[in-house]
Amino acid sequence: MAVPQVAAPPPATRRVRRSHQGWKFVGPFMIVFALVFLAPIAYSIYLSLYRNRLIGGNAFVGLDNYTQALQDSQFWSGVGRVGLFLVVQVPIMLFLALLVALALDSGRLYGKSFFRVSIFLPYAVPAVVAALMWGFIYGSQFGLVGSINDALGISLPDPLKPSLILASIGNITTWQFVGYNMLIFFSALQVVPKSLYESAAIDGAGQLRIIRSIKLPAIRGALVIATIFSIIGSFQLFNEPAILRNLAPNAITTYFTPNFYAYSLTFSGQQINYSAAVAVIMAVITMIVAYVVQLRGTKDL
Amino acid sequence: MTTTSVQKPSARTSKPVTLSSKRPRRKGSILLTVLTALMAAYSLFPLAWLLINSTKTQDGLFSSFGLWFDDGKFALFSNIADTFTYNDGIYLRWLGNTALYVLVGAGGATFLALLAGYGLAKFDFVGKKAVFAIVIGAVAVPPTALAVPTFLMFSKMGLTNTPWAVIIPSLISPFGLYLMWTFAAQAVPTEMLEAARVDGAGEFRTLFKLAVPLLMPGLITTLLFTMVATMNNYFLPLIMLKNPDWYPLTVGLNSWNAQAATAGGEAVFNLVITGSLITVVLLLAAFLSLQRYWQSGLAAGSVKE
Amino acid sequence: MSRFLKVAAVASAAVLALAACGGGDDDSSTGSSGGATVSEADVTAALEKGGTLTVWAWEPTLKDVVTKFQEKYPNVKVDLVNAGTGDKQYTALQNAIAAGKGVPDVGQIEYYALPQFAIGKALTDLKSYGAEALKADFNPGPWNSVNSGGGVYGLPMDSGPMALYYNKEVFDKYKIEVPKTWTEYLEAARKLHAADPKAYITNDTGDAGLTTSLIWQAGGKPYTVDGTNVTINFNDPGSQEFVKVWQALISEKLLAPVSSWSDGWFQGIGNGSIATVATGAWMPANFVTSAPAGSGKWRAAELPQWTAGANASAENGGSALSIMDKGANKELAYGFLKFANDGDGVQVRVDGGAFPATSKTLADPAWLADEFEYFAGQKANEIFAKSAQQVVTGWSYLPFQVYSNSVFNDTAGKAYVSNTTLADGLKAWQDQSAKYGNEQGFTVK
């Protein structure tokens, strides 16, 4: 597959001789994985070669669905949108998460556990509440934006208008996932042997230097994997647009993101076959981007 | 190495506090604290809305300002009571279901990830390189497109409308696999395992007796992530379950939320909000109680070398 | 390696098994769609004999109907399942049909979605059960809605003859007359918004259901369906009437940018910043529970007319109970349908606040005399009953309206948030729907 040795963790010092022993441990995971991932994917690929119509029934169409998807401007507009989202939102989110993780790790913070819990908490908020909450905050009629406008006599731009909607979604995603990524970085930092940078500090290295030359390289694996999962997450952007769609139905189209498009095709249009083709193409694009990022990530750091 | 090195790690885990407290304590930084507090404020601000509005009646929700309390009416306790009694107390049933799914789903996912991550980190075997690539590759497929194929499959297997339809898919956590892999590679010395083998300990016994204590931080982190993921799982249960008696909280609360938009349906936004608050509070409690193990585990993991 | 191969084998076996059953929906067991007739005696016998019925519906008053039904027929056990509202339930239905398993006996289906299920052979034609004889029991609007392609695909449960609900307090405050025509409505919108920039005549962020209903009322017939031959045309005079007024409302920013059913909407209804709502007669029950702050301030009125002095109305919303083709217990299911929608169940539902589809109820003096507390004692049912009789005939929805409505905001919705005109937006909607129809094997012009 496209991503060999994705962020392979630092190799353990020595390994047992080659044997089948490993499969005893990996096997159970892979069996369940085959059932809930590989089989549906294989089934989707099979479905993507057919077309079932309301009138006329099911027929084998070869790669027709794929050629159609490759020429589908709605699909590509969605890809472009998540591409833009990826380039802007992911760096901001990961940077904030890294900053907080380093701050928590520095040992120079008052109320460390309070911060750790509170920044992680948004990740735990169920989507149905997130919808009500952000609906209120973004509301320019009855919501917070409206109230601020009234109170200060200004007119803030409507966060739900088409030109701002992507930024508004980015804000929700950042809010929800900074804590998640922070926790990944934080737990990676915890495993870095403290003795390493304590001796560096004794040698007179400043905090920034320690971060740059010891901490960051030490958690490189976590940084790369978090980036890759964030890329996948961006390409699969679905929940946040789905949440805001009830409030901004005209700004968020049914093909707003590729994942949303696949959803609409399946659930509103009964186009399961076409949806499967879109999903397969999207998976290939995602894998390519993730692979490139992984190659660069392991080279640069 | 000899058997002494096998015993050593467990000795370490027993007294993590002394070890970590030996480190020189750095002075707190006000500036850093203020900056992090800003981030925390950003994170908590929307939750303030949740907290404030859970004290309002359905009526008060729409007639008072969103970020302040409804004058004179403090309905938090009646909301909590109503949440637990509405629709013959189905909320409690949903809570129980969610607990079941989280316990079996997240627990199972963590267990499978532990086994597989450990296997990847500590063994060499044919096909090993492909495993993680396949997992990442599969995760790249948009899940909404897989929902219907999965439904059709599960339906053939007679699993739809049963708890298994929710539990089995949540048993897989690709991210958990990665975490356990990294942790096992870093925190479990291979020499220790070899020593155990020399002593004739079985592979699984070695894992649970020797490696697991060292892997505690990774296990807790994985458990935390899988717990939240299982708890927030909405899409799959929605498709798989038709019987409200098996709904998890997410699907249940959504159905309460949706009923306001049907002809003759009763709006119970106050219960949706209160029900969600309870969910978040429970998760917070789980987080706080796990945190204890997490820290001692972390300390244990961090003292190697 | 052997382990890996086993895993691969399990996976591929699963796929093959699926591939084998993938086309499971075309071996339709069309047992009762056309053939044997079922007599009333058969249905009664089935009810006496008993059994279990699974009903998928979200309508809240059905719960009481089921209780009454089980009292009357103690051998029947009804499993009432809320499998989601509207399209969520349709998705569940389509999934179950595709899987060939877990299909309920009875499903609630909204009128706009009914043709799609009928043409997909998902529903049982009730003609063979003698349903045609029930025609006179129902109002013409809903009865017309369950007739599709020469078959009867359900019994009407509720209906939504339209009315204009307005906040009298706001109207009185700014001395605005209740509009009799949509032109007056536009005038009222201007006057209100000029008097209070925070107040709007109504909210609209683009709603396919409202748009089609108002075009329906204006006498427009954008959709014609003849088997698989379909035409879509928003250039007809009725649609144009609608576009003229609505374009002005949009351009002059007289519509509150708040989506219906959002909490902001309920808030606006309660606090007077949304002054009217034009929708179906089922709405009062929602006012009471969702916007209690407006109680006593609101009234119902006849829907404004497109031509002064005309008496035209349309339906908005409403749903039927249908028997699924793949359901197991069809005689029993028909017995339940008759009980719930034509028999004792109707009164139970009316008592629960639902708006019926039966003509007998609409003529019932006691029902007509009902005083609505929310409307300060107004006898609103008189208005609704009148509206039900004035529904313009000859309207039909597309056999793929569910999809079509789902892309309304992608296309026509642009008119609400950009410089695109509503006419162009509707044209885009038309094109997108036509494209889909052709892809699905219809001939769309």
Neighbours of B211 (CB within 10 A): 22
Binned at pLDDT 50, 70 and 90, residue B9 comes out as very low
pLDDT of residue B295: 56
Chain B: touching chains (3 or more CB pairs < 8 Å): A, C
Residues C242 and C384 placed together within one structural domain of the fold: yes
Asked if the structure places residue A16 within a domain, the reply is no
B58 close to C (CB below 8 A): yes
- Which of A8-12, A160-164, C128-132, C331-335 is least confident? A8-12
Task: Using an 8 Å CB-CB cutoff, list chain B residues near C98.
Answer: 148, 152
Burial-class residue C328 by CB neighbours within 10 Å (0-12, 13-18, 19+).
middle
- Same domain assignment for residues C260 and C205: yes
From the centroid of its chain, how far is CA A181?
10
> Using an 8 Å Cβ cutoff, are A93 and B14 in contact?
no
The answer to whether residues C215 and C341 belong to one domain is: no
**pLDDT(B298) > 80:** no
User: What domain range is C247 assigned to?
Assistant: 162-316+371-444
Q: Which residue has the higher pLDDT, B103 or C264?
A: B103
Q: Is A19–B145 a contact, with Cβ atoms under 8 angstroms apart?
A: no
Q: How much is the mean pLDDT over chain B?
A: 82
For residue range A107-140, list pLDDT tens digits in order: 888 888 889 889 988 988 877 778 778 888 898 8
Q: Do C410 and A55 touch (CB under 8 A)?
A: no
Same domain as C427, residue C303 = yes
Shared-domain flag, residues C180 and C243: yes
From residue A246, give the alpha-carbon distance in Å to each of A160, C139, C204.
11, 33, 12
- Candidate from B127, B155, B160 with C-beta closest to C4: B127
C336 and C212 within one domain? no
* A26–chain C nearest CA distance, Å: 10
Q: Is the dihedral of CA A155, A160, A162, A167 positive or negative?
A: positive
Q: Give the pair of three-digit tokens for residue C25.
A: 């929906």
Q: Residue C231: its pLDDT value, please?
A: 96
Q: Which residues of C touch B259 (CB under 8 A)?
A: 58, 60, 85
Least Cα distance to A191 among C429, B288, B185 occurs for: B185
Residues 163-192 of A with CB under 8 A from C: none
On whether residue C278 sits in a domain, the answer given is yes
Last residue of a domain, one of C327, C353, C368: C368
Min Cα separation C58/chain A (Å): 19
Same domain, C187 and C242: yes
Q: Which of C22, C416, C442 sits opposite A55 (nearest CB)?
A: C442
Tell me if A34 and C8 make a contact (CB, 8 A cut-off): yes
Q: Which of B234, B262, B266, B270 to mutate to test the interface with C (most CBs of C within 10 A)?
A: B262
C-alpha C33/C-alpha C243 separation (Å) is 41
Q: Any chain B CB within 8 A of the CB of C156?
A: no
Q: What is the average pLDDT across B47-63?
A: 86
Q: How many domains does chain C have?
A: 2
Check residue C34 and give its pLDDT.
44
Is the domain of C182 the same as that of C302?
yes
Domain boundary among C327, C345, C368: C368
Percent pLDDT > 90 in chain B is 31
Chains touching chain A through at least 3 C-beta pairs below 8 angstroms are B, C
**Does the CB of A129 have a partner CB in chain C at under 8 Å?**
no
CA distance C407 to C405: 5
Q: Is residue A268 part of a domain?
A: yes
Q: Are residues C224 and C179 in the same domain?
A: yes
pLDDT at A180 over 50: yes
Which residues lie below 8 Å from residue C425, measured CB to CB, with a gap of 6+?
A: C411, C412, C413, C414, C415
- Residue pair B210/B193 in contact (Cβ under 8 Å)? The answer is yes
Whether residue C264 and residue A141 make contact (CB cut-off 8 A), yes or no, is yes
- Main-chain phi, psi angles of C51, to 5 degrees: 140, -170
What is the structure's pLDDT at B221?
A: 85
Domains located in chain B, CATH noted: 27-74 (no CATH), 85-302 (1.10.3720.10)
How many distinct structural domains can be found in chain A?
1
C95 and B152 within 8 Å at the Cβ level: the answer is: yes
Q: Is the CB of B239 less than 8 angstroms away from the CB of C95? A: yes
Of residues A12, A43, A194, nearest to B190 (C-beta): A12
User: Looking at the complex, does the CB of residue B144 fall below 8 Å from at least one CB of chain A?
Assistant: yes
- Best B65, B129, B139 residue to mutate vs chain A (most A CBs within 10 Å): B139
**Mean pLDDT, residues A159-175:** 93
Q: Give mean pLDDT, residues A242-264.
A: 90
- Asked, for residue A115, whether it belongs to a domain, the answer is yes
Residue B7, pLDDT score: 32
Query: Could you give the CA distance from residue C251 to residue B237 in angstroms, rounded to a whole number?
Result: 43
Identify the burial level of B44 via C-beta atoms within 10 angstroms of its C-beta, where 0-12 means exposed, 13-18 middle and 19 or more buried.
middle
Nearest-angstrom CA–CA distance, A49 and C413: 33
Question: What does DSSP say about strands C151-152 and C106-110: parallel, antiparallel, or unpaired?
Answer: unpaired
pLDDT tens, residue order, chain C (445 aa): 344 444 444 444 444 444 444 333 333 334 444 446 888 889 999 999 999 999 999 998 999 999 999 999 999 999 999 888 888 899 889 889 988 888 999 999 999 999 999 988 899 999 999 999 999 999 988 999 999 888 999 999 999 999 999 999 999 999 999 999 999 999 999 999 999 999 999 999 999 999 999 999 999 999 999 989 999 999 999 999 999 999 999 999 999 999 998 888 998 999 999 999 999 999 998 999 888 889 999 999 999 999 999 999 999 999 999 999 998 889 999 999 999 999 999 999 999 888 989 999 999 999 999 999 999 999 999 999 999 999 999 899 999 999 999 999 999 999 999 999 999 999 999 999 999 999 999 999 8
| Alpha helices, DSSP H, located in chain B | 3-14, 16-21, 30-53, 58-63, 76-100, 107-122, 128-139, 143-156, 164-170, 174-187, 190-198, 203-206, 212-232, 235-240, 249-258, 269-302
Q: Does C355 touch chain B (CB under 8 A)?
A: yes
ipTM over 0.90: no
Whether the predicted pLDDT of A78 surpasses 60: yes
Q: Which residues of B touch C351 (CB under 8 A)?
A: none
**Where in chain A does DSSP place strands (E)?**
50-53, 57-60
Which of C95, C259, C414 is the mutation pick for testing A, counting most A CBs within 10 A? C259
Amino acid at site C406? S
- Of the pLDDT bands very low, low, confident and very high (cuts 50, 70, 90), residue B294 is low
* Contact state of C264 with A139 under an 8 Å Cβ cutoff: yes
Q: What are phi and psi of A57, to 5 degrees?
A: 75, -160
**Amino acid found at A208:** L
CB contact set of B281 (below 8 Å; sequence gap of 6+): none
Q: What is the pLDDT of residue A296?
A: 81
**Residue B267: per-residue pLDDT:** 82
Q: What is the pLDDT of residue C40?
A: 85
Q: Which one of C302, C337, C368 terminates a domain?
A: C368
**Given CB atoms, is B193 within the 8 Å cutoff of chain A?**
yes
* Domain housing A272: 33-126+178-300
The secondary structure of C178-212 as a DSSP string is PPSBHHHHHHHHHHHHHH-TT-BSEE-S--HHHHH
Q: Is residue A267 part of a domain?
A: yes
Gap between the Cα atoms of B253 and B267, Å rounded:
12
Q: Say yes or no: C268 and C293 in one domain.
A: yes
Residues of chain C with Cβ-Cβ distance to A268 below 8 Å are 87, 402-403, 406-407
Residue B185 pLDDT class (50, 70, 90 cuts):
confident
Q: Which residue has the higher pLDDT, B129 or A31?
A: A31
Interface probe with C: pick from A158, A250, A272, most Cβ of C within 10 Å: A250
Interchain proximity A38–B138, CB inside 8 Å: yes
Q: Is residue A22 one of the residues assigned to a domain?
A: no
Distance of residue C437 Cα from the nearest chain A Cα, in angstroms: 9
pLDDT of B31 over the 50 cut = yes
Residue B145 near residue A33 (C-beta atoms within 8 A): no
CB within 8 Å: C92 and B262: no
Write out chain A residues lying below 8 Å of B168, CB-based.
32, 35-36
Do C169 and C272 belong together in one domain? Answer: yes
Kindly state the average pLDDT of the residues B218-225.
Answer: 88
**Inter-chain CB proximity A44 and B171 less than 8 Å:** no
CATH code where residue C402 lies: 3.40.190.10
Total residue count of chain B as it appears in this document: 305
Looking at the domain assignment, is residue C170 inside a domain? yes
In a domain, A27, yes or no: no
- Show the CA angle centred on residue C94, arms to residues C90 and C97, nearest 5°: 135
Q: Is residue C7 in some structural domain?
A: no
How near does any CA of chain A get to the CA of C12, in Å? 7
Q: Per mean pLDDT, which range of A77-81, A249-253, B6-10, C49-53 is the poorest?
A: B6-10
Report CB contact under 8 Å: A135, C264.
yes
Percent of chain A topping pLDDT 70: 92
Task: Give Cα B205 distance to the centre of its chain.
Answer: 26
Which of B65, B87, B156 best probes binding to C when mutated, by most C CB atoms within 10 angstroms?
B156
pLDDT bucket at A193, cuts 50 / 70 / 90 = confident
> In this structure, are strands C155-167 and C202-203 parallel, antiparallel, or unpaired?
unpaired
CB A93 within 8 A of CB A171: no
- Domain-located, residue A163: no
Residue C325 lies in a domain: yes
pLDDT of residue C33: 42
DSSP for C226-260 reads ETTEEEE-TTSHHHHHHHHHHHHHHHTT-EE---T
Contacts of A295 (CB under 8 A, 6+ apart): none
Expressed in angstroms, the distance from the first to the final Cα of chain A is: 24
Burial of A20 (0-12, 13-18, 19+ CB in 10 A): middle
**What CATH number has the domain bearing residue A287?**
1.10.3720.10
Mean pLDDT of A38-45: 94
C204 CA: distance to closest CA in chain A (Å): 11
Q: Which of C85, C92, C280 minimises the CB distance to B261? A: C85
Measured CA to CA in angstroms, residue B163 lies from B151, B242, B247, B248, C97 at distances of 14, 11, 9, 10, 21
Per-residue model confidence (pLDDT) at position B189? 85
Distance in angstroms (rounded) separating the CA atoms of residues B113 and B102 = 15
Does residue A53 sit in helix, strand or coil?
strand
Please give the residue of chain C at the shortest CA–CA distance from A53: C440
Residue at A14 is within a domain: no
Nearest to B265 among C60, C102, C355 (CB): C60
Which of A 44-83 lie inside 8 A of B, CB atoms?
Answer: 44, 47
Closest Cβ opposite residue C282 in set B148, B152, B264: B264
Chain-chain contact of A104 with B139 (C-beta, under 8 angstroms):
no
Please report the DSSP string for C136-186 in residue order. GGB-HHHHHHHEETTEE--EEEEEEEEEEEEEHHHHHHTT-PPPSBHHHHH
> Quick one: pLDDT at residue C373?
95
Find chain A residues with C-beta within 8 A of B142's C-beta: 235-236, 238, 258-259, 262, 278-279, 282-283
Assess if residue C30 is contained within a domain. Answer: no
The verdict on C103 and C211 lying in the same domain is no
